[in-house]
Amino acid sequence: MSIMVEVFGPYAAFNRPELKIERMTYDVMTPSAARGILDAILWHPGMRWHIDKIYVLNPIKYSNIRRNEVKSKISANNVRAAVNGKKSDLYIDTKSDIQQRAALVLKDVHYVIEAHFEMTENASPTDNPAKFQEMMKRRLEKGQCYHQPYFGCREFPVKFRRWESSYVPTAYPNTIKELGLMLYDMEYSKDEITPMFFNAVLKNGVLDLNDCEVYK
């Protein structure tokens, strides 16, 4: 069973992982970002979301902004030392450790996410697909979420609602746009986290993720 969710907001930043200093967004929302939005609305250990399609309703527009960012992070060695009873700094002074970074972001973003979920081995005997489907519909109708979903960065919140129609008017009908290599998702194992990529093609304003070839 699939569900369609309309998401929109003034800004978005789906940052390319290969650029470490200056932030540069992908042209459209990544599948992992779409899954993160759905997880924010409804997450349960007995199910996992899979993104089928991303519809682009507004033309792709960019904006250049500057943001204040903390340039350091708390050292794991400092945390380990504190756990062992040694004196260690476990804070960051944001006033002295701040820097400005440029960012190329998307503006006036509007998408429809088409997705389905699969049951996992962590589902309880009382869990079933119909139960989760109704939970998701109810949360979308009431605007409920476990935490505020966002477009790539927490300062770009998402507004969401259920998409009722079977027809989605996209911004690029009768058009094919090659978007290049894009982040698909992250594969988690006990030893490492591996990024996965795919060749993104926007056909008629739709990023179709069914049967796409994924590279690691």
Domain ranges of the chain: 2-65+104-215
Of the candidates 104, 95, 106, 93, the residue with the CA atom closest to the CA atom of residue 21: 104
Q: Using CA atoms, how far apart are residues 206 and 77, in angstroms rounded to an integer? A: 46
Mean pLDDT for the stretch of residues 153-168: 94
Of 141 and 82, more confident: 141
Q: Which residues of 139-156 are buried (b: 16+ CB within 10 A; e: fewer)?
A: bbeeeebeeebbbbbeeb
- Rounded to a whole number of angstroms, the distance between the first and last alpha carbons of the chain is 28
Asked whether the predicted pLDDT for residue 110 surpasses 80, the reply is yes
Q: Cα–chain-centroid distance for residue 21?
A: 20
Asked whether the predicted pLDDT for residue 85 surpasses 90, the reply is no
Asked whether the predicted pLDDT for residue 76 surpasses 80, the reply is no
The per-residue DSSP string of 45-93 comes to TTEEEEEEEEEE-S---EEEEEEEEE-----HHHHHHHHTT--------
CATH 3.30.70.2660 fits 2-65+104-215, yes or no: yes
Identify the band that residue 165 occupies on the pLDDT scale cut at 50, 70 and 90.
very high
Asked whether the predicted pLDDT for residue 190 surpasses 80, the reply is no
Of the candidates 177, 164, 174, the residue with the CA atom closest to the CA atom of residue 204: 174
Identify the band that residue 147 occupies on the pLDDT scale cut at 50, 70 and 90.
very high
Asked whether the predicted pLDDT for residue 168 surpasses 80, the reply is yes
| Average pLDDT score over the chain | 90
Of the candidates 195, 202, 196, the residue with the CA atom closest to the CA atom of residue 180: 202
Q: Which residue has the tokens 């998702």?
A: 185
Q: What percent of the chain has pLDDT over 90?
A: 68
